Amino acid sequence: MKAFQTTLLILFAAILTTQAIRHVHLYVIGYEEPFPVTAPGFPAEARAQARMEESTDELMAEYEATREQLEQLIQEDPAKTTYTLQQEHPELFARHSALAIEVNERHRITSEIRDLWIFSIAGIILLGVGARLYVTGHEWVGMSLIVPGFLELMWWSSPSFTMGGAVQEFDVLLLNKIVVTIVSIALLYLFWSAARRRDRT
């Protein structure tokens, strides 16, 4: 059991520490976007404008407004194809597409922040139950809950993929992941210290 615990300590500590360093670096430096090399017609400028909007509610309102304008254009001349309308109203289509991408990215990150804490709390509960079983003499049963508890924390504190939008939401997500990672490292060494004290008694 002692060799198994030592292996887990080294493995989990290495993963969590490297994740913590990466998160702090990304939070301080910020996400560095590549130079915009886009295909013709891709709404690069429209996307940049959408990212600058701080209020998600205003983005949603503008998205609904552009959607209604597009629906009105289609109703006015149903014979025209989407491609034809896009050629006639490129700015409207570009703005609508950019708003849709930005709103979806913000909603995705907001959902990830919610899930981060739901599953992190679940991981902490597993750790608590596992630790209780471990100290009462059920070592392997306790470890069977402690290990997935730490795996849950490591998974949800791992780096996130970003499309470059939702800058404020991504910063909040990153800060939350830094907190979860630091808490995970503290719990890891707390469990290790408690296990060593128990072995000496």
pLDDT tens-digit readout, 40-72: 445 566 666 777 777 778 888 888 898 899 888
User: Which two tokens mark 95?
Assistant: 């703005």
Cα–chain-centroid distance for residue 30? 15
Q: In this model, does residue 34 exceed pLDDT 80? A: no
Among 68, 28, 43, CA closest to 165: 43
pLDDT digits (tens, 9 = 90+) for 127-171: 898 888 888 878 888 888 888 888 888 888 887 765 555 677 888
Residue 93: domain span = 2-30+38-200
In this predicted structure, the answer to whether residue 33 has a pLDDT above a threshold of 80 is no
In angstroms, rounded to a whole number, what is the distance separating the alpha carbons of residues 201 and 199?
6
Distance CA 105, CA 57 (A): 14
**Model-wide pTM > 0.85:** no
Predicted local confidence at residue 139, as pLDDT: 80
Mean pLDDT of all residues in the chain?
78
**What pLDDT, on the 0 to 100 scale, is given for residue 35?**
37
Distance set, CA 7 to CA 11, 14, 74 (Å): 6, 11, 63
Q: What domain count does the chain have?
A: 1
Task: Grade residue 37 by pLDDT with cuts at 50, 70 and 90.
Answer: very low
**Count of helices and strands (H, E) across the chain:** 7, 0
Backbone CA torsion sign across 93, 95, 99, 105: positive
